[in-house]
Amino acid sequence: MADAGFFAAVRDGAGRSDDVALISGKRAWTYRELITSAEIFAGHLGRHPTTGLPVVVDVADAAVRAVVTLAADLAQLTVLHSDPGAPTDFGGLVVRDSATLPEPSEPPAVRTTDGGVELWTHTRAATHSLAGIPARSQIFLTSGSTGTPTGVVRPAATVLTDAHRIAAFMGYEQGLPGVVSTLAFHCYGFAYGIAAPLLHGTPIRHVPSRSIPSQLARAVREHGARTLVGLPFQFQLLAGTAAPLDFGELRMAVSSGAPLPPAAAGAITGRYDFALYNAYGSSETGALSAALSTGEQLPGEVGTPFPGVVPRLVPVDGVSGGGELQLRTDALAAGYTGTDGLLPLDFDGDWYRTGDLARIEDGGIRINGRLKNIINVAGKKVSPAEIERVLARHPAVTDVQVVAAPDDVRGQVPAARIVTSSGLTVAELLAWCQSRLAPHQMPRRVSFLDEIPRSAMGKPLKGPEPS
């Protein structure tokens, strides 16, 4: 088997053989152990029928995910990262660890304990063709706000480019510890928590993605971590703690998936010495930028593009100021999975269409919402994100989502879903909006919820269309 991109890059990277690479669960893995386990499991993969099938990684342990991904790369196979909490039915050679064992009704599994890893594999009939998908690609499932998974195909070269870019931003270097509490099966979690640190010799301790602030603080102290990567809900919980927590020598924390509310960012930066960043990117583009979150930044501000990312704005009919954000980047995905093979991304010439509405001011990007979410109110285009920002500033509003609702007269109108910390009334909320929104931006329907449904990454999910 020939050496391949990701495996060879980790093997020949900054990590020294006997240095700790990843700590996951109760085990600390050295680089030697990761590489040896991957080499042995690659041989196991080579003895099973994998032609035309991806390796579906359905494991809970982050370090074991790294082993399987390295092995598949060495065996020149494509990997699909599955959420162990919601396994995909995507066909392929399914790999599970002890936490994700198959049910008795599933096909018999092949068990291997080679390399100190206990894994079970079985073959599931193909559902998607790998035609046109480069060998050794990694496929990440993304659902955005729809909840319907789509496979984003990232070739090995783009995975490596993205990882090096993230490492430069994070300051990952040999022997400098970090803590990661995110989703290793997601593009963001894999890049920040596995690929980038492995390439640059940064020992990373993985803790569960549902960890609360006190657990994060303890992990940071015990590991001597200088960096922390987490999810938006964790930082919102941290902002609401009664007393400051001890984060030891932490110098930098990063959140991604959904914007942090300004009040939460302000509460954290006013209480702690570490720098807090909100990262921006997608499975299609990889990491694009990161904004320092102080609570005083402009709404939608996501920072200056990383080196290698070139943005432009294309005007959108009916939308004043800014336009659709389009990009050129050397970390762009190859396309999407389809039943008959690779499907293309959405391009305007050679510019990738992000679907985000944005402004570019002094070199920095400000996101104003999604193009597909624009509400057409009697011919006037309304961005839900702009309304959400106004509603979110109300002292009693703790979470908000604005969607389009059908209207017999105007075609569509804004409908607000509100989570409140007190007995806020519709009349009080609309009075707050009166001087802050134009008439066509005013919510015409308001409903109060216990919570806004969100994905694991913190993005609001679309509920039933308001009537």
C-alpha torsion sign, points 433, 438, 444, 446: negative
Quick one: average pLDDT of 185-213? 97
Q: Residues near 222 by Cβ (< 8 Å), separated by ≥ 6?
A: none
Alpha-carbon distance 162 to 165, whole Å? 5
Write 159-162 long-range contacts (CB < 8 A, 24+).
159/5, 159/6, 159/191, 159/195, 160/5, 160/6, 160/9, 160/195, 160/199, 161/286, 161/308, 161/330, 161/331, 162/191, 162/195, 162/286, 162/287, 162/331
The 8-class DSSP code of residue 409 comes to T
User: Phi, psi at residue 189, to the nearest 5°?
Assistant: -65, -40
Q: Which residue has the tokens 């583009």?
A: 285
Quick one: average pLDDT of 115-142? 89
Q: Residues near 208 by Cβ (< 8 Å), separated by ≥ 6?
A: 181, 215
Q: What is the pLDDT of residue 31?
A: 96
DSSP string across 215-238: HHHHHHHHHT-SEEEE-HHHHHHH
Over 60: is that where the pLDDT of 19 sits? yes
- pLDDT band for position 2 (cuts 50, 70, 90): very low
Question: Is the distance from CB of 200 to CB of 156 less than 8 angstroms?
Answer: no
Q: Work out the number of other CB atoms within 10 angstroms of the CB of residue 283.
A: 22
Q: State the average pLDDT for the chain.
A: 90
Q: Residues near 291 by Cβ (< 8 Å), separated by ≥ 6?
A: 277, 278, 280, 297, 301, 302, 303, 364
Quick one: average pLDDT of 100-112? 61
Question: Is the distance from CB of 90 to CB of 54 less than 8 angstroms?
Answer: yes
Over 60: is that where the pLDDT of 158 sits? yes
Over 80: is that where the pLDDT of 117 sits? no
Over 90: is that where the pLDDT of 326 sits? yes
Question: Is the distance from CB of 129 to CB of 139 less than 8 angstroms?
Answer: no
User: Phi, psi at residue 409, to the nearest 5°?
Assistant: -95, -50
- pLDDT band for position 176 (cuts 50, 70, 90): very high
pLDDT one-digit tens code per residue, 446-456: 999 988 887 76
Q: What is the pLDDT of residue 463?
A: 64
Question: Is the distance from CB of 59 to CB of 95 less than 8 angstroms?
Answer: yes
Residue 143, exposed/middle/buried by CB under 10 A (0-12, 13-18, 19+)? middle
DSSP string across 149-211: -EEEEE-HHHHHHHHHHHHHHHT--TT--EEE-S-TTSHHHHIIIIIHHHHHT--EEE--TT-
- pLDDT band for position 136 (cuts 50, 70, 90): very high
Tokens of 391: 């509603």
Quick one: average pLDDT of 192-199? 98
Share of the chain above pLDDT 70, in %: 93
Q: Which amino acid is at 226?
A: R
Alpha-carbon distance 129 to 138, whole Å? 14
- pLDDT band for position 298 (cuts 50, 70, 90): confident
- pLDDT band for position 99 (cuts 50, 70, 90): confident
pLDDT one-digit tens code per residue, 225-255: 999 999 999 999 999 999 999 999 999 999 9
Q: What is the pLDDT of residue 111?
A: 62
117-126, 186-195, 407-416, 443-452, range with greatest mean pLDDT = 186-195
User: Phi, psi at residue 431, to the nearest 5°?
Assistant: -65, -40
Distance of CA 92 to the CA centre of its chain: 24
Q: What is the pLDDT of residue 445?
A: 92
Tokens of 139: 């496929």
Over 50: is that where the pLDDT of 3 sits? no
Domains of the chain: 5-367 (3.40.50.12780), 375-448 (3.30.300.30)
Least confident of 105-114, 365-374, 395-404: 105-114
Least confident of 28-42, 87-101, 292-306: 87-101
Q: What is the pLDDT of residue 284?
A: 96
Tokens of 73: 């790369």
User: Phi, psi at residue 258, to the nearest 5°?
Assistant: -155, 150
Question: Is the distance from CB of 128 to CB of 151 less than 8 angstroms?
Answer: yes
User: Phi, psi at residue 397, to the nearest 5°?
Assistant: -95, 120
Question: Is the distance from CB of 285 to CB of 308 less than 8 angstroms?
Answer: no
DSSP string across 121-165: EEEE---SB-TTPPTT-EEEEE-TTTT--EEEEE-HHHHHHHHHH
Over 90: is that where the pLDDT of 149 sits? no
Residue 445, exposed/middle/buried by CB under 10 A (0-12, 13-18, 19+)? middle
**Measured CA angle at 282 (ends 306, 65), to 5 deg:** 105
Q: What is the pLDDT of residue 107?
A: 56
Q: What is the pLDDT of residue 238?
A: 97
β 110-112/301-303 pair status: unpaired
